């Protein structure tokens, strides 16, 4: 009988108990025999690591790791730590149920803008006016930055609600119902049309500080920003300046440069900014665990990590 595959688990700010139980469940339904152990600063001869924000010590102690599974869609934090040796492939989550949640969050934020829902807050602040203005006939164009699992889910959902949707990606992409733009050459033309800009980009060297004063100035006056990608894509001070000048009308922000968002950060008290604490799409443990186990099974069957859908291209940063 072959001995079980040693797998180490480090869940960082997420629930170790939650992940361990969902992963154990998924492994028990698979063809793999696995010895899954939370990292306790002692080597177990691990063949795989399943991680969120792991320490460098884990990789120093476990030189036999063949692949790392990231417990999230974004790998900016993992790559930023620089702890995973270059030779080890990293596999991240693809959608795993998060796309639908991102779409729901984005469409709610769009409805709030188009209906002016904030006017109808409960007493004492809300309007008591049955004749309050209705949405105008011409509806805003929704511009989605990033056409991966998150961006496409948001784009398709907005299109189903009848909005004109445009999207921007690094390489040219065809997406049903979405007029697409690609690369820095088409960035300006894309921005010029986006009345509501939805950021669903990963944070990479190229996307850091992408949404700055110059970018906001290229958007239609009175445009709105919704950020579900990463906080580092927006230059905080430039966003505040664009809101204060009226160039932008509102910002709905789920992600921030520093998380938790510091208590004294000006976003908290700005009248045109809604802050939500990174809750647009929490990682669904059960679905994500199934995906990780399926990917590990493929590796065990000889599939090259580069051929897995969640393979992270370190040069591109996502
Ligand atoms: P994907 O890797 O599937 O898609 C990324 C998209 O961004 C691709 O379309 C890619 O272009 C595009 N892109 C990357 N770099 C550039 C660039 N330099 N210029 C233009 N386009 C670029 O990622 P996901 O959709 O799965 O996730 C996106 C991000 O959403 C995650 O990295 C994470 O930060 C965030 N997220 C936030 C959550 C939340 O709760 N708020 C939950 C889950 C994810 P191309 O198509 O050419 O590759």
Q: Is 230 a catalytic residue?
A: yes
Q: Is the CB of 211 under 6 A from ligand 1?
A: no
The predicted-structure confidence for 249-302, as pLDDT tens digits, reads as follows 999 999 999 999 999 999 999 999 999 999 999 999 999 999 999 999 999 999
CA distance 208 to 231: 9
Whether 75 contacts 312, CB under 8 Å: yes
Choosing from 119, 193, 278, 301, which is the catalytic residue?
Answer: 278
| Overall average pLDDT of the 301-316 stretch | 98
How much distance in Å is there from the Cα of 149 to the middle of ligand 1? 7
How much distance in Å is there from the Cα of 95 to the middle of ligand 1? 11
Strands 67-70 and 164-169, bridge-based pairing: unpaired
Residue 310 sits at the vertex; the CA angle it makes with 305 and 311, to the nearest 5 degrees, is 40
- Tell me how crowded residue 192 is: count the other CB atoms within 10 A of its CB: 11
The predicted-structure confidence for 114-125, as pLDDT tens digits, reads as follows 999 999 999 999
User: Does the pTM exceed 0.95?
Assistant: yes
Nearest-atom number in ligand 1 for the CA of 72 is 43
Percent of the chain at pLDDT > 70 equals 99
Give the mutation target among 148, 191, 209, 310 for probing the ligand 1 site: most ligand atoms within 8 A of CB: 148
DSSP run (H or E) holding 248:
strand 248-253
Nearest Cα to 44, choosing from 69, 61, 19, 60?
61
CA distance 147 to 254: 18
Q: Is 306 a catalytic residue?
A: no
Order of all β-strands in the sheet with 34-38: 34-38, 5-10, 48-51, 67-70, 90-91
Does residue 137 carry a pLDDT above 80? no
Residues forming a β-bridge with 234:
211
What was the pLDDT predicted at 312? 98
Report residue 277: phi and psi, to 5°.
-85, 70
Whole-number average pLDDT of the chain: 97
Q: Is the CB of 166 under 6 A from ligand 1?
A: no
Reading the block at residue 215, the tokens are 């970018």
Does residue 134 carry a pLDDT above 90? no
Q: Is the CB of 190 under 6 A from ligand 1?
A: no
Reading the block at residue 193, the tokens are 């049309």
- Tell me how crowded residue 59 is: count the other CB atoms within 10 A of its CB: 19
What was the pLDDT predicted at 245? 98
Of the pLDDT bands very low, low, confident and very high (cuts 50, 70, 90), residue 1 is low
Whether 147 contacts 155, CB under 8 Å: yes
The predicted-structure confidence for 9-26, as pLDDT tens digits, reads as follows 999 999 999 999 999 999
CA distance 97 to 93: 10
Q: What 3-state DSSP class applies to 101? A: helix
Strands 141-145 and 248-253, bridge-based pairing: unpaired
DSSP 42-100: S----SEEEESS--HHHHHH-TT--EEEESSS--HHHHHHT-S-TTS-EE----TTHHH
How much distance in Å is there from the Cα of 300 to the middle of ligand 1? 28
Which residues contact residue 162 at a Cβ distance below 8 angstroms, ignoring those fewer than 6 apart?
Answer: 139
What was the pLDDT predicted at 135? 80
Helix axes 285-300, 16-28, angle to 10 degrees: 50
How much distance in Å is there from the Cα of 243 to the middle of ligand 1? 25
């Amino acid at each position: 009988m072959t001995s079980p595959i040693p797998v180490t688990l480090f869940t960082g700010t997420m629930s170790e108990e939650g992940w361990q139980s969902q992963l154990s469940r998924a492994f028990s339904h698979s063809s793999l025999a696995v010895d899954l152990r939370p990292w306790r600063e002692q080597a177990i001869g691990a063949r795989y690591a399943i991680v969120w924000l792991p320490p460098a010590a884990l990789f120093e102690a476990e030189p036999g790791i063949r692949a790392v599974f990231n417990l999230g869609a974004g790998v900016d934090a993992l790559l930023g730590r620089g702890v995973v040796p270059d030779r080890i492939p990293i596999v991240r989550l693809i959608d795993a149920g998060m796309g639908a949640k991102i779409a729901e969050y984005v469409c709610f934020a769009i409805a709030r803008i188009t209906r002016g829902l904030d006017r109808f807050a409960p007493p004492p602040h809300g309007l008591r006016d049955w004749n309050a203005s209705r949405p105008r006939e011409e509806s805003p164009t929704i511009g989605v930055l990033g056409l991966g699992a998150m961006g496409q889910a948001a784009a398709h959902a907005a299109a189903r609600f009848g909005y004109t949707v445009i999207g921007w990606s690094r390489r040219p992409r065809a997406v049903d119902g979405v007029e697409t733009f690609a690369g820095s050459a088409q960035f300006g033309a894309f921005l010029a049309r986006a009345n509501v800009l939805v950021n669903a980009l990963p944070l990479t060297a190229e996307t850091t500080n992408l949404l700055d004063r110059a970018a906001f100035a290229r958007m239609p006056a009175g445009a709105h920003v919704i950020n579900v990608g990463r906080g580092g894509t927006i230059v905080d001070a430039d966003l505040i300046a664009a809101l204060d000048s009226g160039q932008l009308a509102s910002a709905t922000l789920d992600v921030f440069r520093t998380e938790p968002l510091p208590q004294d950060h000006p976003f908290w008290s700005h009248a045109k900014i809604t802050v939500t604490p990174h809750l647009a799409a929490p990682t669904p443990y059960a679905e994500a665990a199934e995906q990780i186990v399926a990917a590990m099974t493929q590796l065990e069957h000889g599939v090259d990590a580069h051929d897995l859908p969640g393979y992270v291209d370190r040069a591109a940063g996502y």
